[in-house]
Amino acid sequence: MYVNMCGIIGYIGKQKSLSILINGLKTLEYRGYDSAGVAIFNNGKIDIKKSVGQVKVLEKTVKNNINLNSHIGIGHTRWATHGTPNEINAHPHTDCLNRIFVVHNGIIENYKELKEYLQNRGHNFLSDTDTEIVPHLIEDFLKNNKDFNSALLCTLKIIRGTYAFAIIDSENPNTLYAVRFSSPLVIGVGKGENFLASDSSALIGKTKNVIYLNDGEIAEITKDNISITNLEKQKTFPEVTHLEWDLEQAQKGTYEHFMLKEIFEGPDIVLSALRGRLKNKNLVKLGGLEQVANKLNKTKRLLILACGTSYYAGLIGEYLFEEITKIPTEVHFASEFRYQKEPFEKETVAIAISQSGETADTLASIRKAKEHGLLTLGIVNTVGSTIARETDAGVYNHAGPEIGVASTKAFISQLTILILMAVYLSKSNENSYNNTLLQELKKIPKKMQTILNRSDEIEKLAEKYKDYDNFLFLGRRYNYPVALEGALKLKEVSYIHAEGCSAGEMKHGPIAMISEDFPTMAIVPQNNISEKMLSNLEEIKARGGPIFAIATEGDKRITSLANDTFFIPKTIEPLEPLLTVIPLQLLAYYIGTKRGFDVDKPRNLAKSVTVE
């Protein structure tokens, strides 16, 4: 199993490339941050600079050269897979002649045998990376009198794995090459200049027009032209997509961290997800599903496929779909589903949930669903991303770029879309239950705001709980996935061991852990299952476990049980997760920062997991 989450940036045009590359790398740093490097044309040759650590270290190294008259270059921020994070292993990598410079996201699976083959042919390798074979292979093919394009094509035909490459060649000073196979790459189309990035968020503020490369496409980019061919040398005619995101959304503003800014965006995120989708008489209109509406009417079973936080949103989706649409629903980890041998019934609809739209396992599971003839839908935040393009239809989140590595606002948005989708699919769009649901949903942003306005209460409680080494998160029904998500958030940004558990399951094992050193975060809003939750909390209290509860305003039952309680406004049960998750996100944020960690860039994590 591999994980790879590096960032690629490229530039060709009228501006000075180095500062564009450094700025681009900074915006991509959330994808990987153990080392970084750039290669730029300077006075007829290519200069390369690399450094270990965050991009600011590289920025310092190149500070004196930032105004160099260089108009083409590539850059990379690395999240190590092959070889430790050091300068030699940092990208770009080059050939024996220092002619060809390559940055790479992904994994080349057959690199060992190719490296051995090249070494036997006299090539000298410096790094432990898989990437380094690429410039050497191109160099080797060039020796056989091939031109650069043919040498590149021959290289692509013998490597196996997943990749996105940005390449520059000292003999072709006016061309930036880009290749994609299973690892995302997007071209930013400018006037007299063009950009390249592994993630469209790195292009915000530079251009709004982008081209997403498809698998097996090779782009030759000059400052005025973009020419794209496939592995069969046929020209392809790409679609230019318009990015909605603006610069302000990609900046921290007055917030200390993106994570906090994005948690505070919650109310706006719900409003953006609802905008234009609630019609008179509370009908839900989802434009992205119209083209498949007839097929959707016949849905007999729903499969939700996702990873991580998006998977937890999917688990809540299961409760929503089964309660509102009465359609049997299953949620799968995409990483499991892709290898599962399960029977496929006709009239099953597969829904992928993905903030990035690039998660490799989610993409693979959707491709598998398609191969079996299922209709595939996406709930995706990143417009034009691979999952958005490969699903038959879908609904965009319109949540703006999520920069903090730990997902917060995307979860809120995914829940909102799932509620809308459930009503849309329920066929009885106008029934009174759906009316209540949507009326209540409209009130959620204000209720969220009242929670956010009291973030100082959570901050104080974070101070009290920050030194514990373990946490149990408990919830039931709709709030069980919230417990899982709360535990995941805490783990990710504070490195505290936390387990999410369905409260009913607690006595089947996890209760053994409870002691005065093992606090429980109980999600216990007032609903028709809360009495059961209260009994579970009695069991914890009897064993001396500290309890921090999230409960509904005015519910006095909790005060005698919990050591601390954070009260939230009342809503109906299917909408509770939209409120209960916010204090948990804030708790993780404050504990993480109080423990001194950079919560926007948690260790070992990166934003989108684009390789299996």
Where in the sequence numbering do the catalytic residues fall?
A: 6, 607
Q: Which is nearer to ligand F6R, 70 or 608 (CB)?
A: 608
Q: Which is nearer to ligand F6R, 310 or 530 (CB)?
A: 310
Q: How far apart are CA 594 and CA 239, in angstroms?
A: 46
Judged by CB under 6 A, the number of residues near ligand F6R is: 15
Whether the CB-CB separation of 50 and 94 falls below 8 Å is answered with: no
Q: How far apart are CA 113 and CA 109, in angstroms?
A: 9
Q: Which is nearer to ligand F6R, 137 or 418 (CB)?
A: 418
Give least dist CB 307 to ligand F6R, A: 4
> Does residue 407 touch ligand F6R according to CB under 6 A?
yes
Q: How far apart are CA 380 and CA 364, in angstroms?
A: 15
- Report the residue from 299, 355, 520, 552 that binds ligand F6R according to the rule CB under 6 A: 355
Q: Which of residues 490-509 bind ligand F6R (CB under 6 A)?
A: 492
> Does residue 608 touch ligand F6R according to CB under 6 A?
yes
> Does residue 397 touch ligand F6R according to CB under 6 A?
no
Question: For residue 520, what is the DSSP state?
Answer: E
Give least dist CB 17 to ligand F6R, A: 29
Q: Which is nearer to ligand F6R, 218 or 406 (CB)?
A: 406
Peptide bond preceding 184: is omega within 30 degrees of 0, i.e. cis? no
Q: How far apart are CA 100 and CA 75, in angstroms?
A: 14
Whether the CB-CB separation of 175 and 225 falls below 8 Å is answered with: no
Nearest to 320 by CA among 296, 339, 304: 304
- Report the residue from 28, 377, 609, 611 that binds ligand F6R according to the rule CB under 6 A: 609
**Segment contacting ligand F6R (CB under 6 A): 98-106, 258-266, 356-364, 544-552?**
356-364
AA identity, residue 550: I
- Report the residue from 51, 310, 386, 434 that binds ligand F6R according to the rule CB under 6 A: 310
Residue 346: count of CB within 10 angstroms of its CB: 11
In angstroms, the Cα distances linking 320 to 260, 355, 435, 498 are: 28, 20, 15, 26
Whether the CB-CB separation of 87 and 52 falls below 8 Å is answered with: yes
- Report the residue from 13, 308, 401, 519 that binds ligand F6R according to the rule CB under 6 A: 308
Q: Which of residues 431-490 bind ligand F6R (CB under 6 A)?
A: 488
Residue 540, by phi and psi: left (phi above 0), alpha (psi -120 to 50) or beta? alpha
> Does residue 35 touch ligand F6R according to CB under 6 A?
no
Q: Which is nearer to ligand F6R, 378 or 545 (CB)?
A: 378
Residue entry with tokens 């002619």: 99
Whether the CB-CB separation of 105 and 4 falls below 8 Å is answered with: yes
> Does residue 182 touch ligand F6R according to CB under 6 A?
no
Residue 205, by phi and psi: left (phi above 0), alpha (psi -120 to 50) or beta? left
Q: Which is nearer to ligand F6R, 96 or 250 (CB)?
A: 250
Whether the CB-CB separation of 272 and 413 falls below 8 Å is answered with: yes
**Segment contacting ligand F6R (CB under 6 A): 146-154, 307-315, 549-557, 574-582?**
307-315
Question: For residue 239, what is the DSSP state?
Answer: P
> Does residue 362 touch ligand F6R according to CB under 6 A?
yes
- Report the residue from 241, 309, 530, 571 that binds ligand F6R according to the rule CB under 6 A: 309
- Report the residue from 70, 162, 359, 365 that binds ligand F6R according to the rule CB under 6 A: 359
Q: Which is nearer to ligand F6R, 8 or 506 (CB)?
A: 8
Q: Which of residues 519-548 bind ligand F6R (CB under 6 A)?
A: none
AA identity, residue 540: I
Q: How far apart are CA 438 and CA 422, in angstroms?
A: 11
Which stretches of 63-110 are DSSP H helices? none
Whether the CB-CB separation of 107 and 162 falls below 8 Å is answered with: yes
Whether the CB-CB separation of 114 and 136 falls below 8 Å is answered with: no
Q: Which is nearer to ligand F6R, 1 or 542 (CB)?
A: 1
Residue nearest to ligand F6R (CB): 308
Q: Which of residues 50-79 bind ligand F6R (CB under 6 A)?
A: none
Give least dist CB 257 to ligand F6R, A: 14
Give least dist CB 173 to ligand F6R, A: 37
**Segment contacting ligand F6R (CB under 6 A): 44-52, 64-72, 350-358, 577-585?**
350-358
Whether the CB-CB separation of 92 and 40 falls below 8 Å is answered with: no
Residue 117: count of CB within 10 angstroms of its CB: 16
- Report the residue from 167, 213, 218, 307 that binds ligand F6R according to the rule CB under 6 A: 307
Q: Which is nearer to ligand F6R, 89 or 309 (CB)?
A: 309
The packing angle between helices 455-465 and 576-594, to 10°, is 50
- Report the residue from 27, 77, 329, 354 that binds ligand F6R according to the rule CB under 6 A: 354
Q: Which is nearer to ligand F6R, 241 or 359 (CB)?
A: 359
List the structure tokens of 104. 């790479």
> Does residue 356 touch ligand F6R according to CB under 6 A?
yes
> Does residue 406 touch ligand F6R according to CB under 6 A?
yes
Give least dist CB 316 to ligand F6R, A: 14
Q: How far apart are CA 468 and CA 487, in angstroms?
A: 13
Q: Is the dihedral of CA 81, 85, 87, 90 positive or negative?
A: positive
> Does residue 129 touch ligand F6R according to CB under 6 A?
no
Question: For residue 44, what is the DSSP state?
Answer: T
Residue 233, by phi and psi: left (phi above 0), alpha (psi -120 to 50) or beta? left
Q: Which is nearer to ligand F6R, 407 or 565 (CB)?
A: 407
**Segment contacting ligand F6R (CB under 6 A): 18-26, 188-196, 251-259, 351-359?**
351-359
> Does residue 365 touch ligand F6R according to CB under 6 A?
no
> Does residue 118 touch ligand F6R according to CB under 6 A?
no
Residue entry with tokens 């060992």: 112
**Segment contacting ligand F6R (CB under 6 A): 1-9, 129-137, 353-361, 441-449?**
353-361
Question: For residue 435, what is the DSSP state?
Answer: H
Whether the CB-CB separation of 238 and 228 falls below 8 Å is answered with: yes
**Segment contacting ligand F6R (CB under 6 A): 215-223, 273-281, 316-324, 355-363?**
355-363
Q: Is the dihedral of CA 182, 186, 187, 189 positive or negative?
A: positive
Whether the CB-CB separation of 228 and 236 falls below 8 Å is answered with: yes
Give least dist CB 504 to ligand F6R, A: 25
Q: Which is nearer to ligand F6R, 24 or 486 (CB)?
A: 486
Q: Which residues bind ligand F6R (CB under 6 A)?
A: 307-310, 354-356, 359, 362, 406-407, 488, 492, 608-609
